[in-house]
């Protein structure tokens, strides 16, 4: 009896505890559900999907990976050449349009392509005479650009099949591409293990991370060769796009587009993009360098080279309001205004790509660095890691 009396005393307390536990369980369940919903939302809005893009003549299937973020920004990448085939970003009215030049099908990329959207390696840009020396040994590369070697040779990284791995977390989606370039492939020494990771996050930034190691001393200079037309209309020239390049100097070139070794101040020249200006403003000026490049096709010496990631360039299309910022840790940026496009290649939306319907901002080390003693070194030794990052961030103004 006494016992039961004492127990009765505790009944209200027990009830309170029970109610509390139940409430707590309910809240936990609710937050679990919320989390589940959120994850569900994330995975529906923020994802990677795959489809077949075509077949190589060997019968090997090429896959297209579509990375989509929460804002509906979309990047299509194929495992052939690591090529960005489509990049859809919103304009000031929220209308998504494709802003990179490319082809509708794999066939377009298999016939000579001007490197549309591709990863470039082992050496982005030119090497004079296709020759360089490491430790007294001369290496000879293909001459695929007149007397010079360009963009890795006859079968550069833009023409190989990469092994693809999909990665996604709560903040972003990534496609990691790996390729082993064998010792002496295209004439370059060393087995070069390369990984290029594309990451799309929810701030509309597309990051490209490059990593490489070699078992012999070699030279490396990787870049991304997307041609942008922020209007999303490939029948329009890019001459009214406004470009800013964070550089006080550029590298003048000889008649074959090899840097002369001079660092020339941009001030007072058509090469001055320190404040944003229209590409077309001075592109046709009487200027020997513009004549040699048939327009802009030069490497700018970026400022703040000791600062790691920093803003290198911006591009703005006043009509659509699309604005792109390029961040990098690289010393240079090749600004190329599609001068060799000649209206023969078929455009994605119909018609053809005419001269200056796309521009490239290729972050990189300076052209011909292996042969220019005053340029920063591009040498990679065994035990070292080549590591660099460039981001293309999209917004509207």
Residues that bind ligand GLA (CB under 6 A): 114-115, 150, 257, 297, 334, 336, 340, 360, 362
Rounded CA separation 214/205 (Å)? 30
Which residues share a beta bridge with 66? 49, 76
Cα–Cα separations (whole angstroms), residue 377 to 16, 263, 330, 367: 73, 16, 12, 11
Smallest separation, CB 392 to ligand GLA (Å): 16
Given 149, 186, 298, 362, the catalytic residue: 362
Rounded CA separation 75/173 (Å)? 10
**Other residues' Cβ atoms within 10 Å of the Cβ of residue 258:** 22
Smallest separation, CB 165 to ligand GLA (Å): 28
Given 225, 241, 298, 365, the catalytic residue: 225
339, two tokens: 């001068």
Rounded CA separation 314/214 (Å)? 33
Smallest separation, CB 115 to ligand GLA (Å): 5
Is 127:151 a contact under the CB 8 Å cutoff?
no
SS (H, E, C) 310-342: EEEEEEECCCCCEEEEEEECCCEEEEECCCCCC
Q: Could you write out the DSSP letters of every residue in 162-213? A: PEEEEEE-SSEEEEEEEEEEPTTGGG--S-EEEEEEEEEETTSEEEEEEEEE
Smallest separation, CB 333 to ligand GLA (Å): 11
Beta carbons within 8 Å of 335's beta carbon, 6+ residues apart: 243, 245, 273, 296, 297, 298, 300, 313, 359, 360, 361
Is 228:209 a contact under the CB 8 Å cutoff?
no
Smallest separation, CB 397 to ligand GLA (Å): 27
**Other residues' Cβ atoms within 10 Å of the Cβ of residue 339:** 16
Rounded CA separation 248/162 (Å)? 37
Told to judge if 60 belongs to the known catalytic residues of this protein, a careful annotator would answer: no
Smallest separation, CB 211 to ligand GLA (Å): 23
Rounded CA separation 222/210 (Å)? 7
Smallest separation, CB 368 to ligand GLA (Å): 12
- The length of the chain is 397
Rounded CA separation 60/268 (Å)? 53
Beta carbons within 8 Å of 44's beta carbon, 6+ residues apart: none
Residue 67 or 302 having the CB closest to ligand GLA: 302
Told to judge if 282 belongs to the known catalytic residues of this protein, a careful annotator would answer: no
Smallest separation, CB 193 to ligand GLA (Å): 25
Residue 142 or 396 having the CB closest to ligand GLA: 142
Residues known to be catalytic: 225, 362
């Amino acid at each position: 009896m006494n016992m039961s009396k004492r127990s009765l005393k505790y009944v209200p307390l027990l009830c309170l505890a029970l109610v509390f536990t139940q409430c707590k369980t309910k809240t936990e369940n609710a937050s679990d559900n919320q989390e589940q919903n959120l994850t569900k939302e994330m995975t529906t809005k923020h994802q990677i999907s795959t489809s077949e893009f075509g077949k190589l003549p060997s019968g090997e299937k090429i896959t297209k990976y579509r990375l989509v973020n929460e804002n509906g920004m979309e990047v299509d990448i194929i495992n052939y050449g690591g090529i960005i085939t489509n990049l859809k970003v919103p304009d000031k009215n929220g209308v998504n349009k494709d802003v990179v030049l490319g082809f509708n099908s794999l066939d377009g990329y298999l016939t000579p392509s001007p490197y549309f959207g591709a990863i470039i390696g082992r050496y982005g840009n030119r090497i004079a005479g296709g020759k360089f020396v490491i430790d007294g040994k001369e290496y000879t590369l293909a001459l695929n650009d007149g007397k010079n070697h360009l963009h890795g040779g006859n079968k550069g990284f833009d023409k190989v099949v990469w092994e693809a791995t999909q990665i996604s977390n709560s903040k972003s989606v990534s496609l990691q591409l790996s390729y082993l370039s064998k010792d002496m492939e295209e004439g370059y020494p060393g087995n070069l293990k390369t990984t290029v990771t594309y990451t799309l996050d929810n701030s509309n930034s597309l990051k490209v991370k490059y990593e490489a190691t070699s078992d012999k001393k070699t030279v490396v200079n990787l870049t991304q060769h997307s041609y942008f037309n922020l209007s999303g209309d490939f029948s329009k020239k890019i001459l009214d796009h406004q470009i800013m390049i964070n550089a006080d100097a550029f590298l003048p070139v000889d008649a074959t587009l090899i840097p002369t070794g001079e660092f020339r101040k941009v001030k007072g020249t058509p090469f001055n993009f320190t404040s944003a200006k229209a590409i077309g403003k001075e592109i046709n000026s009487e200027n020997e360098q513009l004549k040699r490049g048939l327009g802009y096709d030069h490497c700018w010496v970026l400022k703040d080279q000791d600062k790691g990631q920093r803003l290198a360039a911006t591009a703005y299309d006043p009509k659509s309001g699309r604005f792109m910022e390029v961040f990098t840790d690289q010393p240079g940026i090749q600004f190329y205004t599609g001068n060799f496009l000649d209206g023969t290649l078929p455009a994605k939306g119909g018609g053809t790509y005419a001269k200056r319907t796309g521009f490239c901002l290729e972050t990189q080390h300076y052209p011909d660095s292996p042969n220019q003693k005053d340029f920063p070194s591009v040498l990679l030794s065994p035990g070292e890691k080549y590591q660099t990052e460039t981001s293309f961030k999209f917004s509207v103004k």
